Amino acid sequence: MASISRIEEPRYLKAEIKSHVPEDDEDWDLDSMPIWQDNMLQSHLWRKWESELEPMGFNWQKFQKLISLCTDSFKLWIERKRDWQDVIKEIERTIDEESGLLRQL
């Protein structure tokens, strides 16, 4: 299984994203703007993991696709229904799946 550095939970980004979700909206869209607004979360994670992911065949564009596959995990994290480390594990599983596909190309 792919292993990426464990990074500290970006609580300030969580708070920023949560501030854009209406309080009474439990069914906010999984592809909603709040999670991906301004690429804040993706940029933060890419800066932390770029040197680890590039040797696996990921560039910025492929990383954005990878992260978008984990949107449901990020949504649960924002809603405080999933722990940050569980989100990291989901990203690692997705890296395994996607890097396998990259090797086949």
Give the SS3 label for residue 39.
Answer: helix
**In tens digits, what is the pLDDT along the chain, a chain of 105 residues?**
678 889 999 999 999 888 877 676 566 564 566 777 788 999 999 999 999 999 988 999 999 999 999 988 998 998 899 999 999 999 999 998 887 655 554
* Domain limits, the chain: 11-19+35-104
pTM for the complete prediction?
0.82
State how far the Cα of 60 lies from the Cα of 46, in Å rounded to an integer: 7
